[in-house]
Structure 1
Amino acid sequence: MNDMNVYYKTLDQQHLAPLWVVLKGLVPAEPKSKAVPFQWHFDEVRRPLLEAGELITAEEAERRVLVLENPGWAGKSQITDTLYAGLQLILPGEVAPAHRHTQSALRFVLEGSGGYTAVDGERTTMHPGDFIITPSWTFHDHGHDGTDPVIWMDGLDVPLVSFLKAGFREENESASQTIARPEGDALARYGSGLLPIRNSRKTHTSPVFNYPYDRTREALGQMVRFEDIDPHRGLCLRYVNPTSGDWAIPTLGTTMQLIPANWQGKTYQSTDSGVLVVIEGEITIEMMGADGTAAERFTLKPRDVFALPGWASHRIVGGASDSVVFAFNDRPVQEKLGLWREKL
C-alpha cells in the first residue's frame, strides 16, 4: 500500500475526505440532473387510477394518488430532482380527509366535474383546467358532489422540503372542515386586479387559491393577438400573487403557455426543472443532443404529463392547431437564491 492510500485510509477513519478527489462532482462544470425526460400517457395511467378506486376508498387511502415517479428517481416519489407530482382520483360521495402540511401544493384539474376542495374554511368547485393552490400549513380536504370520477394532478415541493428537513403534517379533528366563507370569496377579494389603497397585506402565497381555466384561456386568447410570441416558449403567462406581484406559490412557479399551430420553437434550456401538461391541442418536445439535433422526441396529447429535467436542452414544436400547456417548476426558489439562469 503506497503512502497516498495509507493517508486516505487515515482520513476515512477520522471521518475526513480530500476535496481534490470529489471537487468536480461537488462543483460540476454545468448541472447534471439525475431525472430523465419522461412522458406519462393519460389514457394509459387513467386505467390503473380508476382500478385503485375499486380497491381502496379515498378515506382509507387518505389521498388516493398514483405517484408519477421519474425513472431516474425510481422508488423515491419524485418526478424531477426537486418536484413531486401525482394523479389523484375522487369518486362521487367521497371525502378525502382534512389535513395540513408544510409542503406547498397545487392541484391542476384534468377530468370530471362535481369535485371540490376546501382550503382554510373556503370551498371551491373544481373544473378541468383550473389551477388550485393549497398553501403551506393550511388545512384542506377534498370531496365530490357529482356523478363521474374527478381526476387532478397534484404538484408539491416535497423533495425540497425533505432536503431541508422542514416537513411537518397534522390531521384535522374532523374529515371535513367547517366552511367559514362563501365559495368565490378569495377570487372576489383579490382576483379582480384591484386592492384597497391602504392594503398592507402581503402574503407569501397568493390569497387567490383557484385560478379558473376560463379566465386564463380568455387572457391567452386576447394576448396572443397583441403580444410578440417568444421564439423559445411561445406565449407564456405566469400565475402571480396579486398582493406582491411575485409567483403565486413561493416555491413552485406556475405558467400557462399557448403554442401556435405548426410553430417551430428555438432550442432552450434553463436550470429549473419542470412538469408540463397539455390542455388543448398537441405538441412535440424534442430533446436535443450534443450535436444540436433532436436525440429524442415526445408527442404530448391532452392530459399527458411530461417531466423536463433542469438544464435539459430542448425545443417545442406545435401541432396542427393551437395548443395550451400548463407547467410548474422550481424557478421561484432558484431566483430567490440567485441561482436561476437560462441559455437561449
Structure 2
Amino acid sequence: MDGASTRNNARRDFYERIDGLSMAPLWESLHQLVPPSPAPKYVPVAWDYDKVRPFLMESGSLITAKEAVRRVLILENPALRGTACTTPTLYAGLQLILPGEVAPSHRHTQSALRFIVEGEGAYTAVDGERTIMHEGDFVITPTWTWHDHGNDSSRPMVWLDGLDIPLVALFNAGFAENGETDEQPITTPPGTSDAKFASGLLPVDWKPTRQTSPIFNYPYARTREALHGLKKAGPPDACHGYKLRYVNPANGGSPMATMGTFMQLLPQGFETAPYRSTDGTVFSVVEGEGESRVGDQVFRWKKRDHFVVPSWARVVHKADSEAVLFSFSDRPVQERLDLWREDRSGR
C-alpha cells in the first residue's frame, strides 16, 4: 500500500471515530461553507399569470377562504420543492378571495406583505383599521398584528403574498394565534393611519413602538405619481431605470424589518445594464411587457406575471413598452448585518 492510500485510510478511520462525538473535519467542507462568491442552491423561475389564474379560480371551487384560513397557491422554487420557499429566506404565493368571502382574523410573528395583482374593492383590516385595496397597492400586515381580509366587491381579488417565513423558521421564532371572530372589531376610522403618517409629517408627540411602518397601505396611484415625477427629473439609472424603495416614515428604513420593497419604471425600449446583488428578489409585473435575462435564462413577461432573480445572479431587464415592476427581497436584513453587496460593473 503506498503512502497516499495509507494516509487516506488513516483519515477515514479518524473521521469515523470523531463522528461518534458529533464532530466533523472542517477541511473537508470549508470551500462549500465559505465559497469565493455566492453559490445559491435555488434557481431563476417565472410564473405566467395566464397559466396560473385558472388554477387559482379552480381552487375557489374546492375550498372556502374560511376553511383554508388563507387560500393561497405557493410560488415554490423548483430547486426547493417541499419547503414552501420561493428563495431560502422568502415565501411568496398568490391568494384568492372571492366576492362575499372573509379570510378569518389571525396574527403571527411572520411579517407579511400584500401586493394587489387583480381586482379592487376588497379590504384588509390591521389592528382595528380597514383599508380598501386596489391593483398595484402595497399593503403590510406587520409582525404580531391582527389581520383579516374580506371581499365586498363583485369580482375575485388576487394578491401576491410575501412573507419572511423561512427567516423566522431559521430563528425558530414562529408563533401564531387565531382571532375570536372571523372579522376583528373595527376601532379606528378608515384612513386614520394615512392621515397621521403619509403626508411627510408626523404627529408631534408620536413615538414609534415597533420597527414596522405605521402606514399599512401604500396606494399605487401615489407610487405611480412618484415614478412619473422621478422620470421627469432626470435620466434613468443604467442598472435600474427609475427605481424607488418604499419607506417607513418614522425612520426612513423599510416598511418591515425583514423585507425590502421596491417599484421601478422602465421606459419603452430601455434595456438595463447588467446588475447583480446578494439579495434574492421576487418580481411582480404591474404594467407593460418585456423580458428579463437572468443568468443564461430569458423570461418574457407581461402584466401580472412573476419571476425570481436569485442571489448574485446577473440580470438585465428590457422593456418593449413602458413597464413597471414591483419587487421584494431580504435586503434590509443583509444591510443590518453588513452582508449586502451589489455589482454594477457589468462583468
The TM-score, its normalising length taken from structure 1, stands at: 0.96
Tell me the equivalent position of 1:337.
Answer: 337
Equivalence for 1:328: 328
Deviation at 1:223, TM superposition (A): 1.2
1:78: Cα distance to partner? 0.8
Assess, with a 3 A threshold, how the Cα gap between structure 1 residues 197 and 139 changes in structure 2: closer, same or farther.
closer
How large is the Cα RMSD of the aligned pairs?
1.1
Q: What residue in structure 2 maps to residue 284 of structure 1?
A: 291
CA contact 1:274–1:329 (8 Å) conserved in 2: yes
Deviation at 1:6, TM superposition (A): 1.1
Equivalent-residue separation in structure 2 for 1:198 and 1:57 (angstroms): 44
- Structure 1 CA distance for aligned equivalents of residues 290 and 240 of structure 2: 12
In the alignment, structure 1 residue 124 sits paired with structure 2 residue 131: yes
- Aligned partner of 2:115 in structure 1 is 108
What SS does structure 2 have at the residue aligned with 1:254?
strand
1:1-344 paired onto structure 2 within 5 Å? 2-201=9-208, 203-288=210-295, 295-319=296-320, 321-344=321-344
Shift, 1:201, TM fit: 2.7
SS at match of 1:224: helix
Contact 1:81 1:309 in 2 (8 A): no
Unaligned 5+ segments in structure 2 are 1-5
Q: How many residues align?
A: 337
Contact 1:90 1:150 in 2 (8 A): yes
> C-alpha separation between the residues in 1 aligned to 2:171 and 2:25?
25
Give the TM-score, by structure 2 length.
0.95
Distance in 2, Cα, partners of 1:262 & 1:202: 45
Measured in 2, the distance between the counterparts of 1:226 and 1:203 equals 34
Q: Deviations over 1:3-43 (max 9, x none)?
A: 21111110111111001111111111111111111000011
Residue 283 of structure 1 and its aligned partner are, at CA, apart by 2.4
Q: Deviations over 1:278-311 (max 9, x none)?
A: 11101211123xxxxxx22111100001011111
The CA distance in 1 between the partners of 2:55 and 2:309, in whole Å, is 24
Quote the Cα distance in structure 2 between the aligned partners of 1:287 and 1:110: 23
CA distance in 1, matches of 2:195, 2:290: 34
| AA partner of residue 64 (structure 1) | R
Consecutive unaligned residues in structure 1, runs of 5 or more = 289-294
Confirm or deny: 8 A CA contact 1:65 1:87 kept in the other structure: yes
Cα distance in 1, alignment partners of residues 168 and 180 from structure 2? 25
- Structure 1: distance between partners of 2:208 and 2:167: 27
